[in-house]
Amino acid sequence: MHKFAVSILCVAALGGCSSQDAKFSTSPAALEDCGAATLSSAVVVNWDASRTKEKGVKIWVSNAQKPSRSGIWGADQNGTLWMGGGLVGSATTGQWMRPGTNLTLTDDSGDDTLAKITIPSLPCKKSAG
């Protein structure tokens, strides 16, 4: 059975989420949104699913506004697989993260969502020129 009750969508400036079973966060917690001039950034992704009964986790990336989540009934429902790893870890993305990017932490099979993050946006800081 899917752990939809554990699934959490984190928005606003929280930059991370946690449930009874998993903690999931990014640093920085939000990225600057300057419209078409928005630069892609690297972020550090941290996770701790040690309180779950899983053996490992996968992290998926999607830029879709509302990525679908249908478990074993859909193909690549979480987005693009970024990485897999142990129950506790930290990794730095490449320079491809933007405001609104969705990260999904799943069990090793990709069937059960443990936590989700949507990278929030910060107001654009225009440089004084």
- Domains for the chain: give ranges and CATH numbers: 9-32+39-121 (2.60.40)
Residue type, 83: M
Give the residue with greater pLDDT, 50 vs 111: 50
Residue 17 pLDDT > 80, yes or no? no
Give the residue with greater pLDDT, 3 vs 70: 70
Percent of the chain with pLDDT over 70: 71
Query: Do 17 and 25 touch, CB atoms closer than 8 A?
Result: yes
pLDDT tens for each residue of 29-44: 999 999 888 889 999 9
Cα first-last separation, the chain = 56
pLDDT at 68: 52
Q: Where residue 86 falls among pLDDT bands split at 50, 70, 90? A: very high
